[in-house]
A and B are shown apart, each in its own frame.
Chain A
Amino acid sequence: MDLDKFKVHGEPLIYGAMISIALATIGILVGLTYFKKWGYLWREWLTTVDHKKIGIMYILAALLMLFRGGVDAMMMRLQTAAPEMKFLDAQHYNEVFTTHGLIMILFMAMPFIIGLMNVIIPLQIGARDVAFPRLNAVSFWLFFMGAMLLNISFVIGGSPDAGWSAYFPLASLEFSPTVGNNYYSLALQISGIGTLITGVNFIVTILKMRAPGMTLMKMPMFTWSVLITNVIIVFAFPVLTIALAMMMFDRLFGSQFFTMANGGMDMLWANLFWVWGHPEVYIVILPAFGIYSEIIATFSKKNLYGYTSMVFSMLIISLLSFLVWAHHFYTMGQGAMVNSFFSITTMAIAVPTGVKIFNWLFTLRKGRITFTTPMLYTLAFIPIFTIGGVTGVMLAMASADYQYHNTMFLVAHFHYVLIPGAVFAVIAGFHYWFPKVFGFRLNERLGKHAFWWIIISFNVTFFPMFFLGLMGMTRRLYTYSKESGFGPLNMLSFVGAVGLAIGFVILVYNIYWSTRYMPRDTTNDPWDGRTLEWATHSPIPLYNFAIVPKVETRDALWSAKQENIPLYTDTKYTKIHMPSNTGKPFILGVVFFFLGFFLVFSMWIPAIVAGIGILVVLAFMSFDKDQGYYIPVEEVIATEKKLMRGETV
Chain B
Amino acid sequence: MKIDASKPLEYSTEENSNKIFGFWVFLGAEIPLFATLFTVYFVMVNRFASGPSGSELFEIGPVLMETFLLLSSSFTIGLAVHAMRHGYKKAMMVFMAITLVMGLAFVGIEIDEFFTYVHEGATLQTSGFLSSLFILLGTHGLHVSFGLLWGIGIMIQLWKRGITPATANKTFIFSLFWHFLDVVWIFIFSFVYLKGLM
Contact = CB atoms under 8 A, between A and B. Distances in A.
Contact of B149 (A209, A235, A259, A615): A615
B178 to A, nearest CB: 16
Given A238-B29, A257-B131, A200 B22 contact: yes
B29 A246 contact: no
Contact of B37 (A208, A209, A242, A254): A242
B43 interface: yes
Interface string B138-173: 010000000001100110110000000000001000
A207 B21 contact: yes
A451 interface: no
Contacts of A256: 49, 125-128, 130-131
B25 A238 contact: no
A253 B29 CA distance: 26
Contact of A131 (B18, B129, B149, B170): B18
Nearest to B2: A577
Interface in A232-250: 234-239, 241-243, 245-246, 249
A199 B29 contact: yes
Interface of B: 1, 17-19, 21-22, 25-26, 28-30, 32-33, 36-37, 40, 43-44, 47-51, 124-132, 134-135, 139, 149-150, 153-154, 156-157, 170
A200 B124 contact: no
Interface string A259-301: 1011111001000100000000000000000000000000000
Interface size class of A (residues with CB under 8 A): 35 or more
Contact of A196 (B29, B40, B150): B29
Given A242-B33, A242-B37, A264 B128 contact: yes
A249 B128 CA distance: 12
Given A272-B36, A627-B1, A265 B128 contact: yes
Contacts of B26: 200
A335 B170 CA distance: 50
Given A234-B29, A253-B124, A256-B128, A268 B49 contact: no
Given A262-B49, A263-B49, A623-B153, A249 B29 contact: no
Contact of A619 (B32, B37, B135, B153): B153
A249 B124 contact: yes
Given A131-B22, A204-B21, A257-B132, A235 B125 contact: no
A498 B22 CA distance: 46
A564 interface: no
A617 to B, nearest CB: 13
A263 B124 contact: no
A200 B25 contact: yes
B129 to A, nearest CB: 6
B21 A208 contact: yes
A257 B128 contact: yes
Contacts of A196: 29
28 contacts: A132-B19, A200-B22, A200-B29, A201-B22, A204-B25, A235-B28, A238-B30, A239-B32, A243-B36, A246-B135, A249-B131, A254-B125, A255-B125, A255-B131, A255-B134, A255-B135, A256-B126, A262-B50, A262-B127, A263-B44, A263-B47, A263-B129, A264-B47, A268-B40, A272-B36, A615-B149, A622-B150, A622-B157
Given A263-B128, A264-B128, A204 B22 contact: yes
B160 to A, nearest CB: 9
A622 B171 CA distance: 12
A419 B116 CA distance: 54
- Looking at B1, B26, B32, B139, which has the most chain A CB atoms within 10 Å of its CB? B32
A203 interface: yes
Contacts of B32: 235-236, 238-239
A237 B29 CA distance: 8
A255 B51 CA distance: 13
